[in-house]
Amino acid sequence: MFEIPCIIFAGGKSSRMGEDKTLLPFGGYSTLCEFQYKRLKQIFNRVYIVTKEPSKFPFEANFLEESYSVFAPTAGFVTLFGQLSDEAFFVLSVDTPFIDFAIIEQIFLEYKKTNQTTLAKLHNKIEPLCGIYTRSLEQEFVKMLQNNEHKLSKMLQMQHISFVTFKEEKKFFNLNYQDDYIKAREMNLTHLDEKDRPKMVDVSSKDATTRVAIASGKIQMSQEAYDNIVNEQNKKGPVLQTAVIAAIMGVKQTSTLIPMCHPLNLSGINCDVEELPELPGFKLIVTTKLTGQTGVEMEALTGVSVGLLTIYDMVKAIDKGMVLHEIQLEKKSGGKNGDYQR
């Protein structure tokens, strides 16, 4: 989980939506805001909601109450800088419900390199309410609020900002209009029935096609732990060989671990290990394949995760500070959504 706090910008009644979008039901919750709050609580240790009216929300949460008359993100930024003492914050608009862990992690990894404000870009367009802001911009926001200037893009162009560029437009889908809200519910509710109860998607009508997925991940460790593995000195046995076996087993157990994943008749599983002496550490690459009606991305990602965890388990007596990171889908092919290449 991320240590920096996550701030949800809740806003209020939208002229384009015609009502308060934060209070619309979404994803099995009574409000969109609660949906965002509950899912982000699984990623961040602390989540706050910036709003002018905490009392309008029918659920318990950590609220940062705005006291400014203006309806603009600048008021929210001044509020969060004033009420919290942290040096950095992850900021997300309430109406972008598909920003997921993978996107947040990439932004966070870039931020760790620079320790400066780091924002998402969709193609070449800045997403000012999806990213990490640092306290170095506090006075800029105060000045903007005092001068009644509220165009974030103008201010950001004059600052030292890092960007992470993304291409997945669906992840940045924004609920601006009623049609957007209807479409977003359709996008989100594939695993819920008409009564918002969990269900597994029926794939029986899909065509069977050849589907391949490749996922990878890294584990970083101390030099002592790395040497122990490559020199095969571990008392528990051959670490890398065991990790490969674990990755394959993890692939086959995906449907028992991930609730909405289908049991699959896989036709191929492969796990490769790369030594990364400069890290030091290792990279696992898992390839999964089948001819069927649903994809194998989750199987590849689960295999990578289990394989890396196995390495951690076998070497934790030497180094408990090992870090698993960059667990990601590298490539997929097959299915109606087409191919993907990172």
- One of 3.30.70.640, 3.40.50.10470, 3.60.130.10, 3.10.20.740 is the CATH number of 209-341, namely 3.30.70.640
Contacts of 111 (CB under 8 A, 6+ apart): 88, 118, 132, 162
CA distance 9 to 7: 6
- Burial (0-12, 13-18, 19+ Cβ within 10 Å), 101: middle
Tens-digit pLDDT profile for residues 168-203: 888 899 888 888 888 887 776 555 554 445 555 555
Q: Nearest 5°: phi and psi at 117?
A: -50, 130
* Residue-level pLDDT at 194: 46
* Residue-level pLDDT at 196: 47
Helical H runs in the chain? 32-40, 73-83, 101-114, 138-146, 152-156, 178-188, 223-230, 239-252, 254-257, 297-315
Closest CA to 318 of 219, 218, 220, 222: 222
Annotation marks residue 196 as catalytic: no
* Residue-level pLDDT at 205: 59
The class that CATH gives domain 6-191 is: alpha beta
Domain spans, the chain? 6-191, 209-341
Closest CA to 7 of 102, 106, 75, 109: 75
CA distance 293 to 317: 43
Helices 223-230, 297-315: axis angle to 10 degrees equals: 100
Helices and strands per DSSP (H, E), number in the chain? 10, 12
Tens-digit pLDDT profile for residues 20-36: 889 998 887 889 999 99
Q: What is the CB neighbour count within 10 angstroms for residue 160?
A: 11
Residue ranges in the chain modelled with pLDDT below 70: 12-15, 188-207
CA distance 338 to 334: 6
Give exposure, 163-198, as e/b (b: 16+ Cβ within 10 Å). bbebeeeebbbebeeeebbeebbeebeeeeeeeeee
* Residue-level pLDDT at 190: 53
**Which entry of 196, 227, 313, 319 is annotated as an active-site residue?**
313
